[in-house]
Amino acid sequence: MPNDRVFAYAFASIYPHYVKKVESKGRSVADLDEVLRWLTGYSQDGLERVIERKADLRTFFEEAPRLNPNATLIKGTVCGIRVEDIEDPLMQKIRWLDKLIDELAKGKKMEKILRSAD
C-alpha cells in the first residue's frame, strides 16, 4: 500500500481498533492513551480533540506537541519490518506506535513499553 494512502487514514478510524486490541488482551483504554501521550506529547484533552476532528495520521504526528526523545529506543518488527530500519520518518513514527500497541497488548510492563530510563 502506498505510504500516502496510509498517511491519509484518519487517526479516529484507527483508534477503535487499538482500543479493541488492547482491551481484548486485558489492558485498558487508559493504558493505551498513556502510551499515545508518551510517544506524541499530546495531553489527554489534545488527544481527544485530534480524535474528534478526525485528523489524518500525517496531521496527528505533525501536530504532536513533542515526540518523545526515547522513541528512537523502540526496536523490533512490525509486519515483518524492523522499525529502526524504516527510512520514511512519518512511516517510522506510525510503526513505532504500532510496536508500542503490540507490546501493550502482549502484556509488557508499562515501564518497559515507555522506555523508562533505568
Q: How far is CA 68 from the centre of its chain?
A: 11
pLDDT digits (tens, 9 = 90+) for 67-103: 999 999 999 999 899 999 999 999 999 999 999 999 9
Per domain, the residue ranges of the chain are 3-108
Residue 61: the pLDDT is: 97
The whole-chain average pLDDT of the chain stands at 93
% pLDDT > 90, the chain: 90
Specify the CATH number of the domain 3-108: 1.10.8.290
Write the DSSP assignment of 63-97 as a string of letters. Answer: T-S---GGGGG--SEETTEEGGG--SHHHHHHHHH
- The model's confidence at residue 2, banded by pLDDT at 50, 70 and 90, is low
pTM: 0.91
